[in-house]
Amino acid sequence: MRRKESFSLSSKKHVGALNQPLVFIFFICLIFLLTGSRLFWIQIINGTYYKKLSDQNRIKLIANPPIRGRLLDRKGVVLADNKLSYSLSIQPRLLSNSEWIDLRNSLSDLLNVSTNQLEIAFNKSNLDTPYKKVLLTDLSEEQIIRFKEQEINLYGAQIDIGLVRNYPYKSLAAHTLGYTQLITQNEFSKLAEKGYKLSDRIGRKGIEAAFESELRGTWGGEMLEIDAIGTVQRSLGLKLPKAGQDIRLTIDLELQRISEQVLSDKLGGAIVALDPRTGAIRAIASQPTFDLNFFSQPFTNKQYDNLFLSSNRPLLNRAFNAYDPGSTWKPVTAIAGMESGKFPTSRKLNTVPCIRYGSHCFPESNKRGFGWIGYEDALRVSSNTFFYQVGVGAGSKALYDSAIKLGFDNYSGIETALGENKGLVGNKEWADQGRGLGNPGETPWIVEDMASASIGQSVVQVTPLQLARAYAVFANGGYLITPHLVDGTRNWRSEKYMQKVDIKETTLETIRRGLRKVVTSGTAMGINIDTSVLPPVAGKTGTAEDSSGGDDHAWFAAFAPYDAGEIVIVAFAQNTPGGGSVHALPMARKILEKWYELESNDQPPTNRD
């Protein structure tokens, strides 16, 4: 028995000893199989992905932003440029959580900012540069000095130098220049393929937006090799950024300044001054306005709301917005009467205290009438009943056709057309289709509409820019120009931008003589108090009821010199009762005086031999 038991135990030990190498070999093979599979997965299946990750750990691309092009006035004065800006940033990969908390508290005490503000900035995602977090922007000189003094104790933090848009004249030409803002995430998804980054600023409104592609320039960058802890080892390549182009505007700084000054005491209004020979805008202002530098510095939600939600709407460009034009519209009705053939240039009409159309008696401007007068005197005294008769007699189509010839009910073609209102010239077809509000057939054109349209009320609305464009036709001998803010390389006198208006010479000259009489012996006599400081002027005053229910608007449209128009000025005071001759004319006069002074100074000296 003992022998058998001994043999059995000996056999088991022998078999176990034989199985151990097999188990070990199997285990080794399994390890190699798993390792090989993993290597195959990493290097073959996902090789490209992991190579990219490896390169990102070894190589960093540091982007260098371009310098945005400047905006200059017509004489080269800088209206918008760039200034240095200092920001505080950290590199999170260099800091543990506890180290960040210590750094945050130190920065808070040193720079006098709350830890909460720093924490919010730290936790804000930044897809464009995930290795860097910007904590503070627009650091003060004192903050910079304090940081530099303690920089050795602030591992992981750094001060970055950048550029922000700067407007040295603050609110000057704000609506025209526009401003820049950081692009949104939605914009970035569309613009990334064009080289934009999340840290980019993009033009908003005005010239900044219209000429974004020319102004922004092209990003550069440097490829750096870094070690495991982020220390730079060497530069692998450098591409310098390309600066954006400078844009020279047609704006004249001095004319722009005086335009903004004359508007400063108005609740709302606009000025347009342009060259009727080319369409070049010399000044264009809107009141109320805003400081363009607001958008180049940090602001709170409350400050943002105060600007964007303000009841006086400072961001609205009133030069592009449409209002009832009042009597400045009467030359359009005069064209309709003469060009239709129903009221020739020599025709005289009896003006009376009021004329009844439908259920309403439409009054004369002086409540008495002016007797029998023709076109020139009707413009001179701004007779309502004369133009009621002409407008109603010529009809809706004739008035609309005349308006279209002068560029109304259409966009002007200006480069900064974003936000431009095309206005309204009411007519029978428009009314029959529902007036843009109701259903067709519910709001027919009635004779009362025609009477109102004849003197620029109720169913007619135009922008100050449109009115300036129309009066340029009277100033330049019958050409519809294209208003513009940048001359560039375009030929603004070509047929593409300057079109001959299809009206008779006799029609044009009758209106021109009438507008001259307005100044010499009519409603605008106040502009000629001292003729030594002004050239001969022609123009038209206007007092318009606000069809939206506010106080009257005041208008004055003029051109000078009368014999060779070189400047057109439209002055508009929104909801300023008292009349165009009282409020708008004095504004235009000051601008004309400044223009005449500038022109006289630019003239070459006379030969006194």
Q: Has residue 328 been placed in a domain?
A: yes
Q: Are 327 and 380 in contact (CB under 8 A)?
A: no
% of the chain beyond a pLDDT of 90? 60
Residue 22 domain flag? no
CA distances from 127 to 199, 300, 318, 469 (A): 10, 23, 39, 48
pLDDT on residue 208 = 96
Is residue 179 included in any domain, yes or no?
yes
From 248, 276, 305, the end of a domain falls on 248
Pair 591, 566: CB distance under 8 Å = no
Question: Residue 48 pLDDT > 90, yes or no?
Answer: no
Within a domain: 10:
no
Range of the domain at 70: 61-248
Residue range 475-498, pLDDT digits in tens: 999 999 999 999 999 999 999 999
What single-letter amino acid sits at 400?
Y
Where among 195, 217, 248 does a domain terminate?
Answer: 248
| Angle separating helix axes 330-340 and 384-394, nearest 10 degrees | 40
Tens digit of pLDDT for each residue in 508-551? 999 999 999 999 999 999 897 776 778 999 999 999 999 888 99
Same domain, 495 and 589: yes
284 and 234 in one domain? no
* Cβ pair 463, 574 in contact under 8 A: no
- Please report where in the chains the tokens 């003992």 appear, as a residue: 2
**Token output for 476:** 């330049």
Residue 516 lies in a domain: yes
Inform me whether the pLDDT recorded for 464 exceeds 60. yes
- Is there a single domain that holds both residue 257 and residue 332? yes
Judgement on whether residues 177 and 93 belong to the same structural domain of the protein: yes
271: Cα within 13 Å, side-chain hemisphere:
33
pLDDT band at 42 (very low <50, low <70, confident <90, very high): low
Average pLDDT over every residue of 163-183? 93
Q: What is the pLDDT of residue 11?
A: 54
Position 194 confidence tier, pLDDT thresholds 50, 70, 90: confident
CB 239 within 8 A of CB 219: no
Q: What is the mean pLDDT of the chain?
A: 88
Q: Does 16 map to a domain?
A: no
The answer to whether residues 149 and 274 belong to one domain is no
* 85 belongs to a structural domain: yes
For residue 93, give both structure tokens: 């990969």
> DSSP readout, 556-577?
EEEEESSSS--EEEEEEETT-T
Q: Are residues 218 and 338 in the same domain?
A: no
Judge if 122 and 181 occupy the same domain: yes
The CATH number assigned to the domain holding 114 equals 3.90.1310.10
Q: What is the pLDDT of residues 227-240, one digit of tens each?
A: 655 566 676 777 78
pLDDT digits (tens, 9 = 90+) for 595-608: 999 998 876 544 43
Instruction: Give the residue among 453, 467, 36 at the shortest CA–CA distance from 276.
Output: 467
Instruction: Please give the DSSP secondary-structure letter assigned to residue 549.
Output: S
| Boundary residue ending a domain (248, 270, 301) | 248
SS3 assignment, position 267: coil
CA dist 566 and 560 (Å) reads 6
Cα(572)–Cα(381) distance, integer angstroms: 20
Least confident among 94-98, 382-386, 484-488: 94-98
Same domain, 236 and 261: no
Q: What is the DSSP string of 46-95?
A: SHHHHHHHHHHHHEEEEEEPPPPPPEE-TTS-EEEEEEEEEEEEE-GGG-
76 burial level (CB within 10 Å; 0-12, 13-18, 19+): exposed
Residue range 124-143: mean pLDDT, rounded? 72
Per-residue pLDDT band for 190 (boundaries 50, 70, 90) equals confident
In whole angstroms, give the CA distance from residue 89 to residue 590.
Answer: 51
193 in a domain, yes or no? Answer: yes
What pLDDT, on the 0 to 100 scale, is given for residue 591?
A: 97
- Is residue 163's pLDDT more than 60? yes
Contact yes or no for 156/91 (Cβ under 8 A)? yes
Residue 543: what pLDDT?
A: 95
Is the model more confident about 106 or about 301? Answer: 106
Residue 152 burial (C-beta neighbours within 10 Å; 0-12, 13-18, 19+): exposed
Number of domains making up the chain: 2
Q: Judge if 198 and 332 occupy the same domain.
A: no
CB neighbours of 301 closer than 8 A, spacing ≥ 6?
Answer: none
CB 533 within 8 A of CB 312: no
The H-or-E segment that residue 220 falls in is strand 220-226
With H, G, I as helix, E, B as strand and everything else as coil, classify residue 592.
helix
Domain of residue 445, CATH code? 3.40.710.10
Of 179, 178, 133, give the one whose Cα is nearest residue 156: 133
Q: Which two tokens stand for residue 378?
A: 């009707």
Q: Tokens 């010529």 sit at which residue?
A: 394
Same-domain status, 169 and 155: yes
How far are the Cα atoms of 102, 153, 387 from residue 95, in angstroms, in the given order? 10, 13, 80
Sign of CA dihedral 212, 217, 218, 219: negative
Do 589 and 546 belong to one domain? Answer: yes
Same domain, yes or no: 200 and 339: no
- Which spans in 522-604 are helix H? 580-602
What does the block give as tokens for 569? 């000025």
d(CA 585, CA 598): 20
Is the backbone peptide bond immediately before 536 cis, with ω within 30 degrees of 0? no
The total of other beta-carbon atoms located within 10 Å of residue 61's CB is 12
Going by C-beta distance under 8 Å and a sequence separation of 6 or more, which residues neighbour residue 555? 325, 326, 327, 328, 467, 541, 542, 543, 544, 570, 571, 572, 573, 580, 584
Distance CA 175, CA 14 (A): 98
Per-residue model confidence (pLDDT) at position 5: 53
